[in-house]
Structure 1
Amino acid sequence: MRTDLCDRLGIEHPIVGFTPSEHVAAAISRAGGLGVLGAVRYNDPDELAAALDWLDKNTDGRPYGVDVVMPMKAPTEGSIGDLSKLVPPAHRDFVEKTLHELGVPPLPASDNPDGDGVLGWLHSVARAHVEIALEHRPALIANALGSPPADVIAQAHDRGILVAALAGRVDHALRQVADGVDIVVAQGSEAGGHTGEIGSMVLLPEIVDAVGGSVPVLGAGGIGSGRQLVAALALGASGVWMGSTWLLTEEYANGLGQTAVSQALLKASSADTVRARIYSGKMARLVKSRWTEAWAAPDAPDPLPMPLQNLLVGEAHRRIAAADDPDVVAMPAGQIIGRFDHLQPVATIIEDIVREAEATRARLAP
């Protein structure tokens, strides 16, 4: 199952896996894919440095990547105090009332650092994440919000690091290639997290036709099996970008202690997700829960723009995680979660995907 992407990234299988867990990222890389660690959860850049140090030591010398959340143009910035003044009191009241109704207790004062939940979404902190990544040995730096700033792309290229960007429309992909991005990730609306409105079956060949002759394109959104990998390759992709699948792994559940999240995802069907701006201020797909239902109620306020929405709900997300209630989770997840009903090791999932992909190709072209 080799494609040109494998040669570009130095991997065995055309599988790129995004994850917030360094344990999952390392397991993906060791299994022959490219594990990409999401940096946004690291409010303290030193914590990201420690995670990348760990990856350097636990990937058996194999490549990995780092994903940042960095708009090309800096959004509203300022101190946490300045930003807090922009959050309407009515929004804060709604969040506190909702948490009380859902039975989510407050955090201990010692576990609630000032500004938690927003720092990782600020442009300045994203730049610090990039600087730390460049001090390590990633094969790829990806940006969830399109093209990184030109100087970031140049710095990565100077160090021989490829740059990827996620695109939800053809015009996004064309702009990214013009900006100097090396790999375009065509992410359909089925995907978890920040995602657009066009489904993968339509979006992927559109983007391949537009830019596939100049850069490789990865298919993303609704991919979790060998048949879906082959389908993406048939549509012109050089490989796949997978995220939600890794949330249903033993390494994720054990590494981050996400017991409630695992339970919520395992019992969810492909119909149990929702697209909304409640997570960060930008449209994202989340698993349905009592938390998402509260934001869909008639009396709920409109979500705020990024990064104010994340500042509003950052502590709430931490409280929800600490409450460990599978009915009250705030977790980005794609429709592919309906495929899984038990946790598996990362290596087993990749092995199954590759085996099924090879069998599918043999069936189609005996």
Structure 2
Amino acid sequence: MKQAEAGVDILVVSGGEAGGHCGEVSTLVLVPEVVEAVKPYGDIPILAAGGIITGRQLAACMSMGAHGAWTGSMWLTTTEAFTSQVIKEKFLQATSRQTVRSRSRTGKHFASCGHPGPMPGRAKTHPYRSPCTLQALVSEPALGKIDKLAEGGHEGARQLSTYWVGQGVGLMNEIQTTRQVVYDFMEDFLGNNGSSSLGDGRRLALHIGTRLKASRTSKRTR
């Protein structure tokens, strides 16, 4: 555990359900594995990540030893998100099985959603894939043009338009404000035995506050 040995303040444990660059081990397996692995290094707060969209999922992760969650995909369909309307509509219609792991965009495995037609096979490595970050030099200009055409109403481009997102996309069913997302998340958490884990959440907040205070003090004394 190089990160624990280096004295990190927080560990974000991201499972294969995550969007963007991701591994292959599920959050359900990875979180308790890391919780056990870092015990010899003291009390390091752990944030579970990967497919977490609802409060009940946070409650489940905290029951496995996580102190909180790190979320990403759930914000992509909020009214404040910079995600294009084309992508938001695709996400709202998608199921968890429509996310794809591919190396086509950056050269490293990433999860996304939005490709047209049947998905099987799209996660396979293309024989002409370039190493990261060279692959992005090839793919990003083309993807940027597709997105621009899609926003302009080009039907073919709308079908091809894609974006990073995790398997939790199947639980993203409506466009909401970030405020409403937070409120619903909290209510779902508390309604699914999350209140029993609030002590861990408070401890995490205290830990972060203490670290930030120490960092500011250190900067002032330099």
Name the TM tier (shorter chain).
0.7 to 0.9
Structure 2 unaligned blocks of 5 or more = 151-156, 198-222
User: Identity of aligned pairs, percent?
Assistant: 35
Counterpart for residue 224 of structure 1: 53
Counterpart residue type for residue 209 of structure 1 = E
1:214-253 equivalences under 5 Å are 214-252=43-81
Q: 1:216 to 1:363 in 2, by over 3 A?
A: closer
2:56·2:189 contact (CA, 8 Å) conserved in 1? yes
Count of residue pairs the alignment pairs up = 189
Q: 2:147 aligns with which of 312, 318, 321?
A: 321
Residue 321 of structure 1: CA displacement? Answer: 1.3
Equivalent position of 1:350 in the other structure: 182
Alignment of 1:44-63 (within 5 A): none
Cα deviation, residue 316, structure 1: 1.0
- Which protein has greater RCO, CA pairs closer than 8 Å, 6+ apart? 2
Contact 2:100 2:123 in 1 (8 A): no
Residue 277 of structure 1 deviates from its aligned partner by: 1.0
Q: Distance in 1 between matches of 2:196 and 2:123?
A: 48
Q: Which residue of the partner structure matches residue 97 of structure 2? A: 271
| Conserved 8 A contact 1:291-1:329 | no
8 Å CA contact 2:101, 2:123 repeated in 1 = no
- Equivalent residue of 2:192, what SS? helix
Match of 2:28 among 189, 201, 215: 201
Structure 1 consecutive aligned stretches of length 4 or more whose deviation exceeds 6 Å: 362-365
**Distance change (3 Å), C-alpha of 1:208 and 1:291:** same
Provide TM-score, normalisation by structure 1. 0.48
Coordinate RMSD, CA, aligned: 2.7
Alignment-mate amino acid for residue 201 of structure 1? L
Indicate how the Cα distance of structure 1 residues 291 and 283 shifts in structure 2: closer, same or farther if over 3 A, else same: farther
How far apart are the structure 2 equivalents of 1:186 and 1:363? 22
Unaligned runs of 5+ in 1: 1-173
- 1:184, 1:193 → 2: CA distance? 18
Instruction: State how far apart, in whole Å, the 2-side matches of 1:190 and 1:178 are.
Output: 27
**Counterpart of 1:271 in 2: which secondary structure?**
helix
What is residue 213 of structure 2 aligned with on the other side?
A: none
**2:208 match:** none
Closer/same/farther in 2, CA of residues 305 and 180 from structure 1, 3 Å limit: farther
Per-residue Cα deviation, 1:92-123 (whole angstroms, up to 9, x for no partner) = xxxxxxxxxxxxxxxxxxxxxxxxxxxxxxxx
